[in-house]
Amino acid sequence: MMMQSLGFLNGKYSHNDPPKKLLDHLEGVLKIAENINKFHKLDLNIEEIALTHDVAKAHALFQDRLNGKQRWFEHSEPSAFFLLNATKNILQAEIVRRHHTKIMNLREIINFWNSEDLYSKFVKIREFAGSDFEILSEDELKKLAFQFLIQQHDMKDWLKFKSKYSIL
C-alpha cells in the first residue's frame, strides 16, 4: 500500500466492549474482505479500503467516546479523506465515507466531492494523523473533484463500486 505511515494508529482502539486495538480491527476487516473476494471469485482491490475505513477512530474525540467522555464523533468522512489523500480515488473514498450508511445516487456523490467547504473538512485529517502529516493542497483536491465530475462513469464502474461497498 502506497501510504504514509499508519503509526498514529498505535495504541488506539476501535471498540471498547470488548476492547479492540484499531490496527487489529483494520487487519481483521481486511482478512474477512479478502476471504469474501476469494470465495466469490471477484477480482477487486479492497486492501486500501479495508485498511483505512476506520482510521479516523484514532482521533482524540473518538478515543474519548470509547472512554465515555464524548457522546459522538463521526469517523467515516475523515477516514474517507485520509484514503483520498493516499489514493486520489474518489470512488474508493466514497465507499469509506458511506460504510455506515447507504450509497446515494451519482449526482449526490458528485455534489459532495465538489462542495465549497470540502477542503475545510479535508484538512482535519491532521487532527488524528498529526500536524506534520502531508496532505493534498486545496488546488489538488479541487482538480481531483473536477476530474471526477467530468469523468464518464459506466455500469462497470458502478458495479465494481457497489461490489466493494458490499464487501466492506
At residue 14, what are phi and psi to the nearest 5 degrees? -100, -25
Confidence of residue 27 (pLDDT cuts 50, 70, 90): very high
Using one digit for the tens of pLDDT, what is the confidence trace for 140-166?
999 999 999 898 888 888 889 999 999
Q: Residue 104: its pLDDT value, please?
A: 81
Q: Which amino acid is at 146?
A: F
Q: Residue 4: its pLDDT value, please?
A: 54
Confidence of residue 6 (pLDDT cuts 50, 70, 90): confident
Of all residues in the chain, the percent with pLDDT exceeding 70 is 96
For residue 84, which of 126, 38, 43, 125 has the smallest C-alpha distance?
A: 125
Using one digit for the tens of pLDDT, what is the confidence trace for 56-107?
999 999 999 998 886 678 999 999 999 999 999 999 999 999 999 998 888 8
Q: Residue 7: its pLDDT value, please?
A: 86
Dist. CA 46–CA 163, nearest whole Å: 10
Between 5 and 140, the more confident residue is 140
Distances (CA, A) of 122 to 36, 67, 98, 157: 31, 26, 16, 25
pTM: 0.92
Between 52 and 3, the more confident residue is 52
At residue 63, what are phi and psi to the nearest 5 degrees? -60, -40
